[in-house]
Amino acid sequence: MSQKILDIDLKSVTWKSTRKEGLNIEYSVPIPRTIADAVLQELEETITYFTGDLAKIKVFGKVYSLPRQQVAYGDPGITYRYSGTTVPALPWPQSVLSLRDFLFKLKGIKYDFVLINRYKNGSDHMGEHRDNEPDLDLTMPIASM
């Protein structure tokens, strides 16, 4: 999988955009289904999600289990704080580094952190919220795959 994703012809990627007040989204479907399936399968086999306190969230003073699995990877020393939880970035595994390298080739942005959220099915979801933590760099675009 690691090499397959880097071999995608980036000239074939067609971008669309949506812009409204407070919203600026560029999107595409640059990954053929066969490659997307291989990426998902490799991630399913190699990613280990957080457990314990890192699998919980504090909302209005009460602690709940997260309605998803999550894990974070990133450059040394990076953390992400939200809702009273500090999430440490584990060292990049090769499968996730390949995706980061693909995003760099695609958009020219080198990300230093990723939060992987895995929802089991359509019943798992987060309530309405904003990712407006003060640590977030508002000039850095968010990539979602």
Query: Per the annotation, where are the binding residues for substrate?
Result: 60-62, 80-82
The number of helix segments (H) and strand segments (E) in the chain equals 3, 8
Q: Which residues are annotated as a binding site?
A: 60-62, 80-82, 117, 119, 129
Q: Which residues are annotated as a binding site for 2-oxoglutarate?
A: 117, 119, 129
Whether the CB-CB separation of 56 and 107 falls below 8 Å is answered with no
Q: How far apart are CA 120 and CA 135, in angstroms?
A: 28
Tokens of 14: 């067609």
User: Residue 72: in which H helix or E strand, if any?
Assistant: strand 69-74
Q: How far is CA 19 from CA 66, 90, 106, in A?
A: 31, 34, 20
Q: How far is CA 101 from CA 5, 55, 74, 135, in A?
A: 9, 28, 13, 24
